[in-house]
Amino acid sequence: MALDTPTLHTMQNEPVRSADDVYTAIKDAVTSGQYGAGEYLREEQLAKSLGVSRTPVREALRRLDADGWVETRPNYGVRVKAWTLQDAREIFEARLLVEPYLAGRAALSIGVSDIGRLQTLADAMLAITQRPSTPQSSEAWFSANGEFHAIITAAGNNARLDRSLKSMKETPLIKWTFGTYSDDDRVRSARQHFEIVRALEQRNAAWTEAAMRCHILAAENAVLDRRDREHPAS
């Protein structure tokens, strides 16, 4: 059976040449939703849109497959991976193991300027919850929330764990997770950010770690609760 011809996207990136550049460009396109779950990625079209030969594209697709961003189907090609509820569970489990630990470490060393920035971001996210939800406000929340967590984990002073965490959070699944939030979920999450900031201000590692753990558990519960409502067990 003939497959549908995928849409040719033009990636608005800086000129790329190496397989590393191509890898980053394609991954960014997948992360942003430019290529949707299940969409096939054709070497020739990718090479044309990026202005490179097919060789670095082929190498980049192999890496993306190994890293779990795409999947190769024999006799069909390479397509963007469709994330599942089990993927969500695994990412939350990994976050619970790593992120509270880094947050606790951050409480002992985070700078005053970073705490000030966290307060500004927490204020901005609370303000977003007080306006009607729109695609633009959701994107603003997602951006602010990402920066908030990135500041904290970077302050944990363990570059390897921080990189591992960032890699997990780059997946399109994270935006899907955020998209499951109700208005009440967003308000609750915004308030939890203030508790995390207070704990950091007090340099209380145990409090910060506990607050971050509760924050992640609440997010996981929101995702699974919505899943149960939309797909009740038979």
pLDDT in tens, 193-215: 999 999 999 999 999 999 999 99
Percentage with pLDDT > 70 across the chain: 85
Portion of the chain with pLDDT greater than 90, in percent = 52
pTM for this model (two decimals) = 0.72
Distance (Å, whole) CA 75 – CA 61: 16
Q: Can you give the residue ranges of every domain in the chain?
A: 19-80, 85-230
Top mean-pLDDT range of 27-36, 73-82, 101-110 = 101-110
Distance CA 25, CA 31 (A): 10
Looking at the structure, give the CATH architecture of the domain made up of residues 85-230.
Up-down Bundle (1.20)
Rg of the chain's alpha carbons, rounded to an integer?
Answer: 20
Domains 19-80 and 85-230 share a fold: no
Is the Cβ–Cβ distance between 195 and 218 less than 8 Å? no
Q: Which are the contacts of 68, defined by CB distance < 8 A and separation ≥ 6?
A: 81
pLDDT band at residue 228, thresholds of 50, 70 and 90? low
d(CA 21, CA 188): 39
Domain range 19-80, CATH class: mainly alpha
CA distance 127 to 141: 10
**Could you tell me the pLDDT band of residue 96, with boundaries at 50, 70 and 90?**
very high
For the segment 139-179, what is each residue's pLDDT rounded down to a tens digit?
A: 888 889 999 999 999 999 999 999 999 888 776 667 666 66
Q: How far is CA 48 from CA 21, 63, 74, 80, 117, in A?
A: 14, 19, 23, 19, 41
- Determine contact, residues 59/21, Cβ cutoff 8 Å: no
Q: What is the mean pLDDT of residues 38-59?
A: 92
